[in-house]
Amino acid sequence: MDVIPAIDLLEGRCVRLYQGDYAQSQVFDENPVAVARQWAEQGAPRLHLVDLDGAKAGHPVNLPVIEAIVRAVDVPVQVGGGLRDRQSVANLLATGVQRAILGTVAVEQPDLVAQLCQEFPSQIVVGIDARNGKVATRGWLETSEVLATELAQRMAQLGAAAIIYTDIHRDGTLQGPNLDALRELANAIAIPVIASGGVSSVTDLLSLLGLEPSGVTGAIVGRAIYTGDVDLKEALRAVGQGRWQDVPPDFGTSAFA
């Protein structure tokens, strides 16, 4: 299972939101490029970037920063936020970004998703961000009536390479991932699922291994690696070597203190 550091971009800075609330943002670093280099040097298999300004505006905003990050690291980069038309996706992938993450258009323009999956095979990922099982859109500012599992099944049929599932109520809270929702989603589709939201410790990461063989192939970690609750190098080693059933009950962040 991949452990994937998140870099959320707001006004060109590396930030974290609490439950997707733009009013509750915390700046962790003024230099996202330096942050990206740090995670790559520590062994991150890929980086997950979110253009928060773009998600709110409906079009990419932090493209210069994203391009600088792609040039600075030698690991794959996936990016979401504000990708709501073909040209935005094409422009992003032309920078060297490996995968474009679509969110709002998956609900509002499924035909566009199908077109992009055909034009850019294996490069289109769908991000499903849910509140109480229902999909949120437009930078999490709106909540639809679409069920997350139903949307995942439709996107898999259209050719999406993977699904990134975020439980908004867990995002930025360090309360642990929503294992039940992830298990249900992963069991409903045949394409990989990447977990996002709530990871607070290596124990949480190992608990995701316990979902195997459901198809959860990665976990995006944000706030926890910035606060030090998760040490990326140790997390990568633990996930690479361990399985949940082999881990003692008291294993947690203290094991890596």
| Residues catalogued as catalytic | 8, 129
Query: CB under 8 Å to 220, separation ≥6 — which residues?
Result: 4, 5, 6, 48, 164, 166, 194, 195, 196, 197, 199
Query: CB under 8 Å to 237, separation ≥6 — which residues?
Result: none
Query: CB under 8 Å to 150, separation ≥6 — which residues?
Result: none
**Angle in degrees, CA 73, 74, 78, rounded to 5:** 75
- Helix and strand numbers (H, E) in the chain are 11, 12
> How distant is the alpha carbon of residue 201 from its chain centre?
17
State how far the Cα of 202 lies from the Cα of 107, in Å rounded to an integer. Answer: 33
Contact, 191 vs 216, CB < 8 A? no
State how far the Cα of 210 lies from the Cα of 47, in Å rounded to an integer. Answer: 23
CB atoms within 10 A of CB 252: 17
- Paired residues of 164 in beta bridges: 127, 194
State how far the Cα of 144 lies from the Cα of 150, in Å rounded to an integer. Answer: 13
57, 60, 140: which is closest to 103 by C-alpha? 140
Q: Tokens representing 119? A: 């034009």
Give residue 71's identity as a one-letter amino acid code.
R
